[in-house]
Chains A and B, each alone.
Chain A
């Protein structure tokens, strides 16, 4: 299998000794079938053991290895060397504080995932020893939204989150919508306050960058637009005294 020499310009930052982030260049002999994560692992194992980054599954499902590669937020285990030029710039995900090198601080988005109450809310007991029935059609309504791996590439791409860190943001809003659309859930009205807040769905300016960069083809932008419609309908229903559709 052929190899190709790649020049990796990697952002480095150690808050204990660096005043500001800077770039370090590594020359890496890459196999043609490698992903960029393989090249980073090569650096770690053979050139510079001090480089810090997150990774685990190497199969596009754990969501650890999101980084900026030539300016785009991507999963590095899904970004193939064969699709890249000889010079590759690797930076930590945009819009997040840098913890160390390619590792970003995720506290804010973890809190946001929590905030939207991403779990089934029921006012009654579940059926005994039986499932809630859910047709394939009902499953299809929200299935794509369950594919989010929390890699946070969407937050790195979102211009609104860049401007306003209080914006709940794409992944968390899409997650809320996933539960709202699940026929087993009755928590839609409980989530409404957070979603309809000025930092909720209305803060989205519908650029759609989140959906474009999503490595799992989730479409947070569409979810947010649907929620805006839902939110408006719900608002007027409440004003007019019409009971909500589910709860």
Chain B
């Protein structure tokens, strides 16, 4: 096994990982950064984000308002110290991207334009047409190329963390083209591996989003926090689950049921706003959790539209006109046309809620520090407490930047005071153990379980037991199913024995990670017996601040189900209140 020494190891080269790498390189070019990713950076799923990134811009807006929208949107499960820092740094980070060349859309006077977004009281979403994540990712990737201290390990699959005396000391990874193993020795590992939407069957998430970083941390004894909070985006294309950005509604698109009624007014988000004149923070510009839940009720009432891909509601954008659609929303226009054969200039598009984002993740604070010294987590793979029980659209792209930079600073400070001289033998033995496990898996033959079969059953179980609405029985059944699948995973068959780009082996490793993530989602869904944000229980329909104004923490147990503990939510200035999406009419 080859050894690579680095001052900072970053796993994941999407928006968060790249931002962290650049921050380290800018701060101290002497520090060696190893940037490990299972895909080339520009393949990372940041590229699929469409709508934009939130940061206070206009003179009529304030940090206070962004703070209040985020905390209320998160149903008061946000750690408010983290939100305060986030809203403060957001404009600076977005401006930094502008200076690095991000092709933001512009106002007439040449300043950066902002658009309305769900749950936000002011226009503060910076955007680059409807390819904001794509442009952010490519800007960061291209900018990163000027820093020689960033050494990339593209298409290296990270396997597991190394630790010594409770501190993180590196990671083991496999080079995909050769099957060779590498031990990365470092006082710091920053996890930036994204979420794990692939635990669900119907998701906007790309194939790469298998929760790898979450699972690695979890296996290393670090808790996963708030995993029951999984966001459904209300407007996915049926069949493929392709995202139609919230920008569609920000620009004025409306949602109607089979009778043409703007049904959101029946779910506490009315009264109706005028067509073509979207009113902030109400109706179609309500938060994602509320909109997805409204769909569920409409479906129950028989008000949805039947399509070849299942039940849908209609997203009507015709009144926006051709020019606006093609200028502001060219990608979604193309996607809807290609995948469901609808030209949104002429016809409404069928849409339905689709798994989009994990508010939960590796337990971390606002600096990205996980409870294990030396381990940091940023972006979707982390749960810093920023998003609470429901993330507002366009807060996550900004979070990649803010948490990326802040964690880099904390990591540098930590690396400078950490002694790396001891424990080499111990770490080597751990690394060899990790490699032996993978070799054993590769050699595994004669099993009667298939990777795709287990994956399919897992996804069905998660959708049934941990979907838009949950209850005790369903969640329990999903927990049981995931436990059963973990057992059956022992008997999977790996047919491909090659060392070269072995995607059969990689799928097996990803499935292991997915199952780890899945058991925390189902267990936390079972044990949070209240309804809050994206976690809605049919058997506990009210928010319960007495018992559950708390973060859940899932710890891995060597035998049996995960152990759930609870930790306090940091409240600085906003006491839990009522989420009002009536547009000020109540």
Contact = CB atoms under 8 A, between A and B. Distances in A.
B498 interface: yes
Question: For the side of the interface on A, what is the size category?
Answer: 35 or more
A99 B138 contact: no
B240 A58 contact: yes
Contacts, number: 158
A212 interface: no
Interface string A185-199: 100000000000000
B99 A120 contact: yes
B491 interface: no
A62 B206 contact: yes
Contacts of B108: 135-136
Nearest to A126: B99
Contact of B101 (A1, A44, A119): A119
A108 interface: no
A161 B117 CA distance: 45
Interface in A88-139: 99-101, 103, 105-106, 110, 113-114, 117-120, 126, 129-136, 138-139
A104 to B, nearest CB: 10
Interface string B89-115: 001100100111101111011111000
B375 interface: no
A96 B318 CA distance: 44
B112 A118 contact: no
B451 interface: yes
B541 interface: no
Given A16-B499, A50-B504, A52-B502, A62 B45 contact: yes
A167 interface: no
A28 interface: no
A78 B496 contact: no
A106 B40 CA distance: 10
A53 interface: yes
A119 B146 contact: yes
Contact of A110 (B154, B504, B507): B154
A80 B103 contact: no
Q: Is the interface of A mostly helix, strand, loop or mixed?
A: loop
- Residue of A14, A61, A175 with highest tally of chain B CB at under 10 A: A61
Nearest to B113: A136
Interface residues of B, number: 63
Interface stretch (B293-301, B331-339, B364-372, B532-540): B331-339
Given A62-B47, A129-B92, A103 B106 contact: no
Given A56-B208, A143-B103, A14 B498 contact: yes
Interface of B: 39-40, 42-45, 47-48, 91-92, 95, 98-101, 103-106, 108-112, 131, 134-135, 138, 142-143, 145-146, 154, 177, 206-208, 239-240, 242-243, 308, 331, 334-335, 338-341, 450-452, 494-496, 498-504, 507
14 contacts: A33-B239, A52-B496, A54-B43, A55-B207, A57-B47, A59-B335, A62-B43, A62-B206, A64-B39, A100-B500, A110-B40, A119-B146, A136-B106, A146-B135
**Closest 3 A/B residue pairs (Cβ):** A133-B110, A45-B452, A56-B206
Given A50-B498, A103-B501, A119-B146, 13 more contacts: A16-B499, A44-B503, A49-B495, A56-B207, A57-B48, A61-B48, A62-B206, A105-B177, A131-B99, A133-B111, A139-B106, A147-B131, A182-B101
